[in-house]
Amino acid sequence: MILPGFPVARPRRLRTSPALRRLVAETSLNVSQLVLPLFARSGRKQRRPVDAMPGVFQLSPDEVLREAAAAHALGIPAVLLFGIPDKKDAKASGAYARNGVVQQTVRLLKKELPSLLVITDVCLCEYMDHGHCGVVRGEKILNDPTLALLAQTATSHAEAGADILAPSDMMDGRVAAIRAALDKNHFIDTPIMSYAAKFASAFYGPFREAAGSAPQFGDRRSYQMDPANANEALREVALDVQEGADLLLVKPALACLDILHRVKKEFGLPTAAYAVSGEHAMIKAAAAKGWIDERAVTLESLLAMRRAGADILITYAAMDAARWMK
Ligand code: PBG
């Protein structure tokens, strides 16, 4: 492209008024892009604050409903559900229990708020006594034996009424396994949003307190990706697309804007950015100190994810963001 030079070209001409700036804005934020993550635990009237995530709570199903209803009223189209079971074991039984906390909460939400989309996180770490996302032998996290449990978990979420299933475990072949199980059980129309490019990130720290899912030994680097690798991320995504992923997810968000951009460009599927717990904690902490403007930084971060290619924004600040976008 040939551009004239200065003084014919004066880029500032298009920045002279708010209306003009709005007219030429390339990217926009809309409440329809937001997804609010929520943490469900058993009980009634329970709201347990998560220390490192101000404004985030472990909620009993009735309180999840309250929170989801408030989000829905603001125009937020979807919530992303995580479960905190009462008991953990070595088979993650709570993940696929018919009456597990996620299954119960999904049924309640779909009954009371049928037009709110319920996305469920499909993973085993919250339900495993060792805190890993797969079946463990010795210190090894086994891939193939984990697939059946993930497929069973996804199917039980679909049976409860989940609208979209979001596997976040990073086992090889999980999307295919989940798709096959769903189809076999006649959930041919239930989409899979794959955490296709998920890095082994220190930004998930606060989440592990929220979900009680910190690994009891080692770390997640034998299944989640090395933050050094971008080409590998594209191969991961390609596999998930081949296996039938309907929507893609990249996380963490701000530390992976390059990945987000490449994934959207290469595959063109609906793509979500997940502004993870550590990103939320950093903004909240600096804002509490008066060091940054919470509203401006939150909205600018979300806009950056959109500019990089995200269609969908998963953020703990979804309710505030929805109010600020009005
Ligand atoms: C479960 C899962 C994690 C997150 C989403 N799903 C934690 C992890 O992989 O350790 C992180 C979300 C966040 O930090 O907000 N596997």
53 C-beta closer than 6 A to ligand 1:
no
Q: How far lies 145's CA from each of 91, 216, 238, in Å?
A: 10, 20, 23
Return phi, psi of residue 160, to 5°. Answer: -75, -15
Cβ-based neighbours of 111, under 8 Å, separated by 6 or more: none
- Report the run of H or E that residue 167 belongs to, with start and end: strand 164-167
User: Which of 146, 149, 209, 213 to probe ligand 1 with, by most ligand atoms within 8 A of CB?
Assistant: 213
Measured distance CA(86)–CA(153) in Å, rounded? 17
Q: Is residue 198 annotated as part of the catalytic site, yes or no? A: yes
> pLDDT, tens digit, for every residue of 264-292?
999 999 999 999 999 999 999 999 999 99
126 C-beta closer than 6 A to ligand 1:
no
> pLDDT, tens digit, for every residue of 178-222?
999 999 999 999 999 999 999 999 999 999 988 989 999 999 999
Whether residue 2 is predicted with pLDDT greater than 90 in this model: the reply is no
Q: How far is the CA of 125 from the centre of ligand 1 (A)?
A: 9
Q: What is the pLDDT of residue 43?
A: 97
Q: Is residue 251 annotated as part of the catalytic site, yes or no? A: yes
210 C-beta closer than 6 A to ligand 1:
no
Residue by residue, DSSP assigns 32-70 as: GGEEEEEEEESSSS-EEE-TTSTT-EEE-HHHHHHHHHH
Q: How confident is the model at residue 1 (pLDDT cuts 50, 70, 90)?
A: confident
Q: How far is the CA of 2 from the centre of ligand 1 (A)?
A: 46
Among candidate residues 91, 140, 251, 264, the one labeled active-site is 251
Taken in order of first residue, the domains within the chain and their CATH numbers are 29-249 (3.20.20.70)
Q: Average of pLDDT values for 76-98?
A: 97
